[in-house]
Amino acid sequence: MFTRGIRGATTINSNSESAIMEGTAELLNTIMHSNPTVSPEDIAFILFTVTPEITAVYPAKAARQLGWKTVPLMCAQEIPVDGSLPMCIRVLITCNTTMTQEEIHHVYLRQAVTLRPDLAFD
Protein backbone atom coordinates (compact mmCIF):
# COMPACT_ATOMS: atom_id res chain seq x y z
CA MET A 1 0.00 0.00 0.00
CA PHE A 2 1.13 3.50 -0.84
CA THR A 3 -0.22 6.91 0.13
CA ARG A 4 -1.03 8.72 -3.11
CA GLY A 5 -2.70 11.93 -4.17
CA ILE A 6 -5.44 12.16 -6.76
CA ARG A 7 -5.90 15.63 -8.22
CA GLY A 8 -8.90 17.12 -9.92
CA ALA A 9 -10.61 20.35 -10.82
CA THR A 10 -13.75 21.66 -12.44
CA THR A 11 -15.39 24.98 -13.13
CA ILE A 12 -18.92 26.11 -12.38
CA ASN A 13 -21.20 28.68 -14.00
CA SER A 14 -22.43 30.52 -10.92
CA ASN A 15 -21.73 31.13 -7.27
CA SER A 16 -24.83 29.25 -6.14
CA GLU A 17 -25.19 26.37 -3.72
CA SER A 18 -26.67 24.16 -6.44
CA ALA A 19 -23.84 24.86 -8.93
CA ILE A 20 -21.16 24.22 -6.29
CA MET A 21 -22.82 21.05 -5.03
CA GLU A 22 -23.46 19.64 -8.51
CA GLY A 23 -19.99 20.51 -9.82
CA THR A 24 -18.25 19.06 -6.77
CA ALA A 25 -20.34 15.88 -6.80
CA GLU A 26 -19.65 15.37 -10.50
CA LEU A 27 -15.93 15.85 -9.94
CA LEU A 28 -15.78 13.43 -7.00
CA ASN A 29 -17.90 10.81 -8.75
CA THR A 30 -15.77 11.03 -11.89
CA ILE A 31 -12.56 10.68 -9.86
CA MET A 32 -13.89 7.62 -8.04
CA HIS A 33 -15.22 6.06 -11.26
CA SER A 34 -11.83 6.66 -12.93
CA ASN A 35 -9.97 5.07 -10.00
CA PRO A 36 -12.21 2.08 -9.22
CA THR A 37 -9.84 0.43 -6.76
CA VAL A 38 -10.13 3.43 -4.41
CA SER A 39 -13.08 3.55 -2.00
CA PRO A 40 -14.02 6.13 0.65
CA GLU A 41 -12.50 3.76 3.24
CA ASP A 42 -9.11 4.23 1.55
CA ILE A 43 -9.21 8.03 1.74
CA ALA A 44 -7.01 9.66 4.38
CA PHE A 45 -8.38 13.17 3.74
CA ILE A 46 -9.68 15.49 1.03
CA LEU A 47 -8.59 19.09 0.54
CA PHE A 48 -10.85 21.34 -1.54
CA THR A 49 -9.81 24.77 -2.75
CA VAL A 50 -11.97 27.34 -4.51
CA THR A 51 -11.30 30.60 -6.28
CA PRO A 52 -12.24 33.74 -4.29
CA GLU A 53 -15.59 34.32 -5.98
CA ILE A 54 -16.99 30.95 -4.80
CA THR A 55 -18.64 31.66 -1.46
CA ALA A 56 -22.18 30.21 -1.46
CA VAL A 57 -21.34 26.86 0.21
CA TYR A 58 -18.36 24.70 1.12
CA PRO A 59 -17.62 22.06 -1.55
CA ALA A 60 -17.16 19.57 1.29
CA LYS A 61 -20.92 19.58 1.74
CA ALA A 62 -21.22 17.65 -1.54
CA ALA A 63 -18.89 14.93 -0.23
CA ARG A 64 -21.05 14.61 2.88
CA GLN A 65 -24.15 14.26 0.71
CA LEU A 66 -22.40 11.48 -1.22
CA GLY A 67 -22.25 9.60 2.09
CA TRP A 68 -18.62 10.26 2.97
CA LYS A 69 -19.44 10.94 6.61
CA THR A 70 -16.13 9.85 8.20
CA VAL A 71 -13.67 11.16 5.58
CA PRO A 72 -11.78 14.20 6.96
CA LEU A 73 -12.50 17.21 4.71
CA MET A 74 -10.99 20.69 4.53
CA CYS A 75 -11.90 23.67 2.36
CA ALA A 76 -9.68 26.65 1.59
CA GLN A 77 -9.58 29.63 -0.71
CA GLU A 78 -7.04 29.69 -3.54
CA ILE A 79 -4.34 32.31 -3.70
CA PRO A 80 -5.79 35.01 -6.01
CA VAL A 81 -3.18 34.93 -8.78
CA ASP A 82 -3.66 37.41 -11.63
CA GLY A 83 -5.09 35.69 -14.70
CA SER A 84 -6.04 32.47 -12.90
CA LEU A 85 -9.03 30.42 -14.01
CA PRO A 86 -12.19 31.82 -12.37
CA MET A 87 -15.04 29.84 -10.78
CA CYS A 88 -12.76 26.86 -10.19
CA ILE A 89 -13.08 24.09 -7.61
CA ARG A 90 -9.97 21.97 -7.07
CA VAL A 91 -9.56 18.82 -5.05
CA LEU A 92 -6.68 16.77 -3.69
CA ILE A 93 -7.70 13.34 -2.45
CA THR A 94 -5.04 11.61 -0.37
CA CYS A 95 -5.62 7.88 -0.25
CA ASN A 96 -4.03 4.52 0.46
CA THR A 97 -3.79 2.41 -2.66
CA THR A 98 -1.77 -0.23 -4.44
CA MET A 99 -1.79 1.88 -7.63
CA THR A 100 1.44 3.37 -8.89
CA GLN A 101 1.66 7.11 -9.60
CA GLU A 102 1.31 6.32 -13.31
CA GLU A 103 -1.89 4.29 -12.77
CA ILE A 104 -3.74 7.09 -10.97
CA HIS A 105 -6.27 8.96 -13.10
CA HIS A 106 -6.42 12.67 -12.30
CA VAL A 107 -9.61 14.38 -13.46
CA TYR A 108 -9.97 17.86 -14.97
CA LEU A 109 -13.45 18.78 -16.20
CA ARG A 110 -14.97 21.68 -18.13
CA GLN A 111 -12.69 24.73 -18.43
CA ALA A 112 -10.35 23.22 -15.84
CA VAL A 113 -8.83 21.07 -18.60
CA THR A 114 -6.77 24.15 -19.43
CA LEU A 115 -4.98 23.80 -16.06
CA ARG A 116 -3.47 20.43 -16.96
CA PRO A 117 -4.34 19.42 -20.52
CA ASP A 118 -1.89 16.53 -20.19
CA LEU A 119 -4.11 15.08 -17.41
CA ALA A 120 -7.53 15.96 -18.87
CA PHE A 121 -10.19 13.31 -18.45
CA ASP A 122 -11.34 11.70 -21.73
Task: Indicate which residue of 22, 26, 53, 75 is catalytic.
Answer: 75
Residue 75 annotated as catalytic: yes
Residue 95 annotated as catalytic: no
Residue 4 annotated as catalytic: no
Q: How far apart are CA 59 and CA 67, in angstroms?
A: 14
Task: Indicate which residue of 22, 26, 53, 116 is catalytic.
Answer: 116
Helices (H) and strands (E) in the chain, counts: 2, 5
Of 100, 34, 28, the closest CA to residue 64 belongs to 28
Task: Indicate which residue of 4, 58, 90, 95 is catalytic.
Answer: 90
Task: Indicate which residue of 7, 22, 26, 53 is catalytic.
Answer: 7
Task: Indicate which residue of 22, 26, 53, 78 is catalytic.
Answer: 78
Alpha helices of the chain — where are they, by DSSP H? Answer: 17-34, 60-65
Max Cα distance, the chain (Å): 39
Q: How far apart are CA 38 and CA 122, in angstroms?
A: 19
Residue 64 annotated as catalytic: yes
Task: Indicate which residue of 4, 58, 88, 108 is catalytic.
Answer: 108
Residue 110 annotated as catalytic: no
Task: Indicate which residue of 17, 41, 64, 103 is catalytic.
Answer: 64
The set of catalytic residues is 7, 64, 75, 78, 90, 108, 116
